[in-house]
Amino acid sequence: MSTTLRARRSCLAVPGSSQKFIDKARTLNSDQVFLDLEDACAPLAKPGARKTIVEALNEGGWGEKIRVVRVNDWTTEWTYRDVTEVVEGAGANLDAIMLPKVQTPEQVVALDLLLTQIEKTIGYEVGKIGIEAQIENALGLTNVNAIATASPRVETIIFGPADFMASINMKSLVVGEQPPGYDVGDAYHHILMSILMAARAHDKQAIDGPFLQIKDVDAFRRVAGRSAALGFDGKWVLHPGQIDAANETFSPAQSDYDHAENILDAYEYFTSEAGGKRGAAMIGDEMIDEASRKMALVISGKGRAAGM
Ligand code: GLV
Ligand code: MG
């Protein structure tokens, strides 16, 4: 994980048209909040939602949360006004723009150029506002590496499972669960791994998308646990009840964190004791070497980002 990116274990989706949900979101302990102008916001509500979002960002009260706005995708007529109104009005109080349904690197470049012009016009630091790219269809997935590197602003690659399932004609209506009739493995494995590889290859964060059965927190933990186990950095949350589960699932267990710290201490001690000539050491019955140190660094880094 990049050392420069902040923790995004829980990314809370909030409809930009709902003042009530926006006010509630301020009080919750998600790592990130994203105010939505896309699918959670009806077409006729979008112009009003842009204004509500600008006010909400400028009013503040977001604490340490990463503040993100999801705009509409480039195939609609709304994207440029979403970006222009929100960034001109509240760019100083915004960390990133989330771009949904990204299909090609050019779509990221287009957003980058627009952001640069607005930053120059308003007098913000150029490059300050990041981009979160959502992969939600087959073309986006086949281009995921190029999308990850299309702009230095890209901070996260996000899996959008609902749109993705629809776009590939998956015979299922339940996001996150295996499609009925597919009983030979995990139907999402290739998608998740492709996103994760692109993210890791280019030092971005990999974020898993929503789980829609919002009352079933056990099922949320099970589904989140899969992408967390692979190495994802966080997951969307749609309801306050999912936040603690996401924060826990994407943090290392305390025992793993402690063990990782022990490995790092022991490795440092043994290798320096041998004057840099010893490559491996033992902790109890466990042999540790340079690769163990790297694995321990990952767990330790995730733990520190989570405030352990
Ligand atoms: C999120 O946008 C999804 O389509 O799952
Ligand atoms: Mg979507």
- Nearest-CA residue for atom 1 of ligand 1: 160
Residue with the two structure tokens 């022990």: 262
Percentage with pLDDT > 90 across the chain: 81
Number of Cβ atoms within 10 Å of the Cβ of 169: 7
Is the pLDDT confidence value at 272 over 80?
Answer: no
Q: What are phi and psi of 35, to 5 degrees?
A: -90, 125
CB-neighbour burial class of residue 160 (10 A; exposed 0-12, middle 13-18, buried 19+): buried
Q: What are phi and psi of 141, to 5 degrees?
A: -70, -40
Q: What is the pTM of this model?
A: 0.93
pLDDT in tens, 15-35: 999 999 999 999 999 999 999
Assess whether the C-beta atom of 162 lies below 6 angstroms from ligand 1. yes
Assess whether the C-beta atom of 163 lies below 6 angstroms from ligand 1. yes
Site to substitute for ligand 1 among 135, 136, 188, most atoms within 8 A of C-beta = 136
Is the pLDDT confidence value at 265 over 60?
Answer: yes
Is the pLDDT confidence value at 176 over 90?
Answer: no
* Bridge partners (DSSP) listed for residue 206: 157
Per-residue pLDDT at 234: 98
Per-residue pLDDT at 277: 66
So what's the ipTM on this one? 0.99
In angstroms, what is the span from residue 72 Cα to ligand 2's centroid? 10
- Nearest-CA residue for atom 3 of ligand 1: 160
**Joined tokens for residue 258:** 């402690």
Query: Where residue 274 falls among pLDDT bands split at 50, 70, 90?
Result: low
Query: Where residue 301 falls among pLDDT bands split at 50, 70, 90?
Result: confident
Q: How far is CA 72 from CA 32, 54, 158, in A?
A: 19, 16, 15
| Sign, Cα dihedral of 268, 272, 274, 275 | positive
